[in-house]
Amino acid sequence: MRRRRILRGAAVTAAGALLPSSVRAVAAPTEEADHPAARWRPAHHANCTVSAGTSARRVDRVVIHVAQQTFTETIGIFRNPAQRVSAHYVVRSGDGLVAQCVRERDIAWHAGDWDHNTRSIGIEHEGWVDRPEYFTDPMYERSARLTADLCDRYGLARDRAHIIGHHEVPGSDHTDPGEHWDWARYIRLVNLA
């Protein structure tokens, strides 16, 4: 019996070691996230504007990004105070895991335009704009559920006027989410969520 428990424990440990580092890097949350399915992974406070109060801010857009990085590297960038960038959420490609990095009441520095930063929620997605294999079913589905939840809580229509790409922010020099992002599919999933 004891030998079986030892072997079972060793098997669990070995299985955990086989997981990609991006999966192992997300431990149990220490604080509640705003979105119920998200795990709290805070950005450094130097990479966002923390609200002085607890009142909700006016949000009229969700901005969709592609990080040009892996999930773990993106969270690491947001935790580095020298980077001066953050987003509210990051969605992992392989399984659609959602991490929250900035409180929704706070201003994430994601849009490249202060006005849009102050009135939007930013969602980064693991991957690269020219590598569509990162845009997986789980990522689209979990991101769409997050966006639907944001639209419901902030009273936003679930349409392209209120769910925009980073490239659509005035003055942006970014191309994300890029030509491989399937907007028709994404908006359909948001509306089905």
The predicted pLDDT at position 51 comes to 87
CB 59 within 8 A of CB 152: no
Would the pLDDT of 100 be above 80?
yes
Residue 55 pLDDT grade (very low, low, confident, very high; cuts 50, 70, 90):
low
Would the pLDDT of 16 be above 70?
no
Model pTM score: 0.84
Give the separation between CA 22 and CA 97, rounded to whole angstroms: 10
Phi, psi of 133 (to 5 degrees): -65, -20
Residue 54 pLDDT grade (very low, low, confident, very high; cuts 50, 70, 90):
low
> Strands across the sheet with 38-40, in order?
38-40, 98-100, 89-91, 120-125, 61-64, 163-165
